[in-house]
Structure 1
Amino acid sequence: MPAKNGRVRVLHCIQNLNYGGMERVLSDLVRGVDHDAFEPHVLTLQYRGRYGEGLDGHATLHDGPDQGPLAMIQPVQLANAIADIDPDVVHLHSGVWYKAVRASRLAGVPRVVYTEHGRRPPPEALLTRVLDGFAARVTDHIVAVSEATSVQLQDGPKVPAERIHVIPNGIDTDRFSPGPSTFRAAHGISDDTVLIGSVGRLEPVKGYATLLRGLRTLLDRADVKVPVHLVMAGDGSQREELEALAGTLDLCGHVTFLGWWDDPEGLLRALDVFALTSVSEGTSISLLEAMSTGCCPVVTRVGGNPHVLGDELAHRMVESKDPESVGAGLADAVIDRERRVADGDRGRRRVNDVFAVNRMVEAYSRLYTEQ
């Protein structure tokens, strides 16, 4: 496609750049593309957030315009903002599809790419299906981050399978690699404690109430002879509720709520087990990062999780919304150290082979430029 000044100008459009897997993917794409071939821009419709810090060294950042009450019907202000940037490609991310694709078409953008990073479990609201169905019809390339997400797009807004590209998320496997960590010493956690961790937004879709109840089930087992501790990194609307539940379950000495955590590598390297108890998931960045550092995964059988684990780690799957299943899965990892370590090594190899960030960047680069 024709490019400006010899480079293809790609504008990413997203709600914000606060902590989350989708936001991490955008950051990695902007940092990872060939800057001799692409000129990245990022437009945030709400605010920038933590992943915006330092990103201006890799892309031109833009704040979204104030939008009136009719913005969903006729997003003129957003269209004008996009036209002023004058991109060759607009890459939309979950949460902005309908409004931003309309604005992109009003602005005369030649190519629009949309990535569905993960949808809520069915049933979806009728309005969501209708709006996304319209958006799909005027989007050039639609990307799902997992096969399961692709099926959701086919079932919800009825996107034909042949119009969907599946591009799994990728992570920097050099940055997220096994190594020493000061996390345990800083938090008074002994080396003989089996440290379980999770990283994510404290929201209902992440199923953290099930994780806490599963931990209680684990601790009540007579065959668990080692000390166990759970650390939860992240924040969200459920934090107070989850802290109260931990108190009700008498877990206060066994769980630490860290809030947002600025050293994910150090945290993940300290863990023995990574727990992901979501009720819906695309391709979890946190799970990929944990496996890349050598953590043994215990994750729910939803969304893209089975593909991330693959056949070799399928025995580490547990059932969503089922504390007994989660507790049993955690217990298996806690009790059998040799198998836990071996599965951590298997996970590291799988992420290296299938989910390295360069694969993701190359796949999107082809979408930006293919005729």
Structure 2
Amino acid sequence: MLRLYKARKPRPEFGLHSSNRERRGKLEQQAIEVTGLRKTYAGGKKQEPKEALKGLDLSIPEGSIFGLLGPNGAGKSTLINILAGLVKKTDGRVVIWGFDQDVNPRQSRAAIGVMPQELNMDPFFTPRAALEMQAGLYGVPKSERWTDEILELVGLSDKAEAYARNLSGGMKRRLLLAKALVHRPQILVLDEPTAGVDIELRAMLWRNVRKLNEQGMTIILTTHYLEEAEEMCDEIAIINNGELIVRDTTPNLLKRMDRKALVVEPRNEVSQEIRLPEGVTLETRPGGQMAFSYSRTDTSAEDILDALRAADVEIRDIASEQPGLEEVFVSLTSNR
């Protein structure tokens, strides 16, 4: 059985293996490198073969929180399952933490932990037993297991001896995260981690994710809650129909949307017609607020303010609204 650990003192931080870092050297900085990745599912009697990934090229930097977005059926789950070693690729190259998946399949799988979307666990195991079993499967010696620390990290210390079948849905999701961490992976994949969970659990999960990331773990996040990706991710890749549509930093993606809004709360009643610059539209909101939508390429906020001054509009308050990631996502995938 593959042994991932050697006795060492002091205990390494979450997700870090010093020997692996020394082996990789200073020049390699990609946690995952995917080149020309293809996956075609065989068809049936009434179904044509389905090409889920069409020559995907993607690299994910070490130490980042990386968002992997796309509509249903885009190929995200296929990509994750290939990375985790659960699905065999049709063609292409996958390198995880410096290990080529074809040359060193065990090492590449050991470098990654996956928190799946589905609640798959033995209902008759306690959280402690489930973590001990998972650690055994990865060959982690008992002297180097950190079961109690993981249970505390995910907030399950008081449920350590409860049967999994008696846990709430939120607690079961915490247990899935805990199982993904038992072998101290350098890369953690979170597949729709907050689907159907409450606000408290979501906040706890993101605190823990940030903590792990600060200590060196690379995080890959797939989510349909785009505001989460916008808040959490350093970089984002959007895939659709098995192809990479765009990959950029989160701020740069948001800049791709040219339109923004200037929201004005007038102090006085607007009695004159406002002669707006060409291309600027006005929406009146509850409470008398006026939202001016405009193209940053063609118009400046100062142009709109000049039009308000010309109409003798006194301004009580003013705010600017930037486009969110949802608008970017829709604009990039709606026509594909």
TM-score by length of 2: 0.26
Specify which structure has the higher proportion of helix. Answer: 1
Specify which structure has the higher proportion of strand. Answer: 2
Answer 1 or 2: higher relative contact order, Cα 8 Å, separation at least 6: 2
Which structure has the bigger radius of gyration? 2
